[in-house]
Amino acid sequence: MSQDSNTQDNNVDASIEITPEMQAFYQRADAIIGVANSQLGPDAHSGQVGASLLYAAARYSASVASIGFVKADDFAKEKDDIVEFYVKQYRQMLSDNLTDYAQNFDKYVQLNKDDKPAE
């Protein structure tokens, strides 16, 4: 799957400066995509790897969300708000990336072909 969304993010307004923090954000995302791509093979297709990646994101997010809570009951009471926060973030990121992928479809499809091992 394409990792090219960071350095040439056509979804980002050209007038927006890519700060070091944003660059670090995109580099971390690319590293995680790289790990996901390394899992592709005869025993795991992109749908299976994608499902594992979503599960990992959910587990990691649950762990991050728990930081700062002292009691499980307090954490549990915030569950709906936490879910709403992460769903809203994911929905926006997914929408932005789908738009970017559609706008750069031919380029990204070629990148994906180039990433496949020769048969």
Is 9 a residue whose pLDDT tops 50? Answer: no
What's the half-sphere exposure (Cβ side, CA atoms, 13 Å) at 15?
Answer: 0
Note the pLDDT of residue 119: 45
Distance CA 4, CA 15 (A): 19
Note the pLDDT of residue 110: 81
18-27 pLDDT per residue, tens:
999 999 999 9
Is 47 a residue whose pLDDT tops 60? Answer: yes
| Confidence band for 12, pLDDT divided at 50, 70 and 90 | low
| Confidence band for 71, pLDDT divided at 50, 70 and 90 | very high
Higher pLDDT among residues 62 and 117, named by residue: 62
Distance CA 35, CA 33 (A): 5
Note the pLDDT of residue 7: 44
| Confidence band for 16, pLDDT divided at 50, 70 and 90 | confident
Mean pLDDT calculated for residue range 91-96:
98
Mean pLDDT calculated for residue range 88-102:
97
